[in-house]
Amino acid sequence: MIREWGFDFVRMPMDYRLWVREGDRRTIFPDAFRELDLGVEWARKYGLHACLNIHRAPGYCINAPQEPKSLWTDRETREICAEHWAFLAKRFKGIPDREMSFDLLNEPDGVDNATYAQVIRLLTEAIRSQDPGRLVIADGTEVGNRPVPELIPLGVAQATRGYQPMEVSHYLAPWWKGSVGLPPPAWPMVDKGTLKDRAWMKKEFIQPWKELESQGVGVFVGEWGVYKNTPHAITLALMRDHLELWKEAGWGWALWNFRGDFGILDSNREDVAYEKYDGHLLDLKMLELLQAF
């Protein structure tokens, strides 16, 4: 479906707990990767770039529960995380960069730039020890929103996010504490006297990344979308502004998600007249908007 609709990229979020047993973080079970292998095979078959992301890594995940030991402070945990990336690099060695990339960590937070750069250096060196040419991507800090100039010497690309403003994209999202007590969303919107619109997004979330890009760093939008509780018309208006800004910037993007509460298929929105498509409910207006960019 992704290919038929004209798209060429798929991000595959992973959880390391699926390939270890009983908390033994150092022992990786290769048989656990059969489904990932198949996903990569399908991506290559249909001409999609496969971006592998350890969404829950040993020592860090933006989602609950927290990891028992922190990747930012625990040396052994860093070494273990590096071993996991080295395993993946060896497993998929030989697949060209145009077909595969590695997105190291999802939405790092609670870490200063210097410490983050130390971690990314270790993970990148582990990958390059197995596959020197692999394309590596590091998310920005502050949950992926801020570029990290300290990573420039490492020769990695960087990924931003497209959830701004959260009051709109995450309206009544149960996992986000900031959603409690929010007024009904609007776009554009006024927040505490500040007009948040396309110009605001360009200044706050495009320009800092363009400055990074001007220093030779590849940039793309590693994750974005709007949760199902935001009214559909407002969802599409916000998405259009994001897409127009990224097209102007020359950046690619990865929607979270394809099928689910943010997506094109089976999103469970109450105000969408869905089309039936191959056993799914299709948000045709959202699909057509994405296809236009």
DSSP annotation string for 197-253: SHHHHIIIIIHHHHHHHTTT--EEEEEE---TTS-HHHHHHHHHHHHHHHHHHT--E
- Asked whether residue 279 is domain-assigned, the answer is yes
For the chain, how many residues are written?
A: 293
pLDDT band at 52 (very low <50, low <70, confident <90, very high): very high
Model's pTM, two decimal places? 0.95
Residue with tokens 């199902």: 228
- In sign, the C-alpha dihedral spanning 40, 104, 173, 160 is negative
- Asked whether residue 61 is domain-assigned, the answer is yes
Residue-averaged pLDDT of the chain: 97
Radius of gyration from C-alpha coordinates of the chain: 19
- Asked whether residue 4 is domain-assigned, the answer is no
pLDDT at 23: 84
Cβ partners under 8 Å of residue 77, min gap 6: 25, 58, 59, 67, 69, 70, 71
Q: How far is Cα 158 from Cα 149, in angstroms, rounded to an integer?
A: 10
CATH number at residue 283: 3.20.20.80
When pLDDT is averaged across residues 182-206 and rounded to a whole number, the result is 96
pLDDT at 126: 98
Neighbouring C-beta atoms of residue 44, cutoff 10 Å: 15
Specify burial of residue 260 (Cβ count, 10 A radius: 0-12, 13-18, 19+). middle
pLDDT in tens, 72-123: 999 999 999 999 999 999 999 999 999 999 999 999 999 999 999 999 999 9
When pLDDT is averaged across residues 199-207 and rounded to a whole number, the result is 97
pLDDT in tens, 204-228: 999 999 999 999 999 999 999 999 9
From residue 25, give the alpha-carbon distance in Å to each of 58, 76, 80, 121: 7, 10, 7, 21
Q: Angle CA(154)–CA(156)–CA(161) in degrees, nearest 5? A: 130
- Asked whether residue 247 is domain-assigned, the answer is yes
Contact indicator for 74, 96 with CB cutoff of 8 Å: no
Q: How far is Cα 289 from Cα 293, in angstroms, rounded to an integer?
A: 7
> Does residue 22 have a pLDDT over 90?
no
Q: How far is Cα 72 from Cα 76, in angstroms, rounded to an integer?
A: 11
SS3 at position 64? coil
Domain assignment of residue 238, given as a range: 9-291
Residue with tokens 């999202």: 173
- Asked whether residue 34 is domain-assigned, the answer is yes
Q: How far is Cα 272 from Cα 292, in angstroms, rounded to an integer?
A: 20
- Asked whether residue 1 is domain-assigned, the answer is no
Q: How far is Cα 31 from Cα 14, in angstroms, rounded to an integer?
A: 15
Q: How far is Cα 156 from Cα 151, in angstroms, rounded to an integer?
A: 7
- Asked whether residue 235 is domain-assigned, the answer is yes
pLDDT in tens, 120-136: 999 999 999 999 999 99
State how many domains the chain has. Answer: 1
- Asked whether residue 2 is domain-assigned, the answer is no
pLDDT at 132: 96
SS3 at position 69? coil
